[in-house]
């Protein structure tokens, strides 16, 4: 990636964490990245292009987290490894995570290209979950399993990022999430 593009996206990511999409004016991003506003427009065609780039990057991180097929793990271990990767992503790339899962404003709507990357990410989770259910499971069953997994994992991350985290001990939250996912996948595997 072009170094200026990378600086712009890094600056936009940091600004998003500080103040959401409201903090992402072209001028603020340019100042933070040390580039001209013209540079922003030439690389991204403005704020919408930057948000799309962050959105796409975010779902590419999710796709990467789900890419456990070549590790030689059992289907159960693959789901747990993908879950662990996803939890790591949610912390390492918190701004991306928050953007792709709804902390944007009414002024931003992901492009068709950006949405297609999100669909690909869900397909990756469905593939991992599908292996656990076995070859005879229907695509509908695999997608239902994937939705249950994603809801559990995403809900856990959202709670960690929410003010409720101040009310409970979140020190071992990843272990707790992995334990809950284990219970869920063992139950789903038993049902199939």
CB atoms within 10 A of CB 67: 14
User: Residues in the chain, how many?
Assistant: 192
Q: Is the pLDDT of residue 169 over 80?
A: no
Same domain, 35 and 113: no
As a whole number, the mean pLDDT across the chain is 87
Q: Is the pLDDT of residue 164 over 80?
A: no
Same domain, 86 and 176: yes
Task: State the CATH number of the domain containing residue 66.
Answer: 1.10.357.10
Same domain, 12 and 99: no
If phi > 0 it is left, if psi is from -120 to 50 it is alpha, else beta; for residue 25 that is: beta
pLDDT for 64: 94
Q: Please, which pLDDT band fits residue 69 given cuts at 50, 70 and 90? A: confident
Q: What is the mean pLDDT of residues 114-120?
A: 93
Same domain, 27 and 88: no
Task: State the CATH number of the domain containing residue 22.
Answer: 1.10.10
pLDDT for 133: 84
Q: Can you tell me whether residue 107 is helix, strand or coil?
A: coil
pLDDT for 68: 93
Q: Is the pLDDT of residue 60 over 80?
A: yes
Give 40-58 pLDDT, tens digit per residue: 888 888 888 998 999 999 9
Domain that holds residue 72: 48-191
Same domain, 41 and 106: no
Number of domains in the chain: 2
Percent of the chain beyond pLDDT 90?
Answer: 43
Residues 6+ apart with CB under 8 A from 10: 33
Same domain, 26 and 113: no
68 φ/ψ angles, rounded to the nearest 5 degrees: -120, 5
Same domain, 65 and 87: yes
Asked if residues 97 and 90 have their Cβ atoms less than 8 Å apart, the reply is yes
Same domain, 41 and 123: no
Same domain, 21 and 99: no
Q: Is the pLDDT of residue 158 over 80?
A: yes
pTM score, whole prediction: 0.86
Q: How far, in Å, CA of 65 to CA of 31, rounded? A: 32
pLDDT for 65: 93
């Amino acid at each position: 990636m072009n170094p200026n593009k990378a600086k712009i996206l890094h600056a936009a990511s940091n600004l998003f964490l500080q103040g959401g999409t409201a903090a992402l004016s072209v001028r603020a991003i340019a100042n933070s990245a040390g580039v001209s506003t013209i540079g922003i427009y030439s690389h991204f065609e403005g704020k919408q292009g930057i948000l799309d780039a962050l959105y796409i990057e975010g779902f590419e991180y999710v796709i990467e987290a789900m890419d456990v097929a070549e590790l030689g793990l059992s289907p159960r271990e693959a789901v747990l490894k993908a879950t662990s990767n996803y939890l790591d992503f949610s912390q390492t790339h918190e701004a991306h995570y928050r953007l792709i899962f709804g902390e944007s404003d009414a002024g931003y709507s992901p492009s068709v290209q950006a949405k297609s990357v999100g669909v690909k990410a869900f397909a990756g989770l469905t593939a991992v979950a599908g292996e656990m259910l076995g070859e005879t499971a229907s695509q509908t069953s695999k997608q239902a399993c994937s939705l249950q997994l994603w809801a559990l994992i995403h809900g856990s991350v959202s709670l960690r990022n929410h003010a409720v985290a101040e009310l409970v001990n979140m020190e071992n939250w990843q272990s707790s999430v992995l334990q809950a996912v284990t219970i869920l996948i063992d139950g789903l595997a038993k049902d199939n």
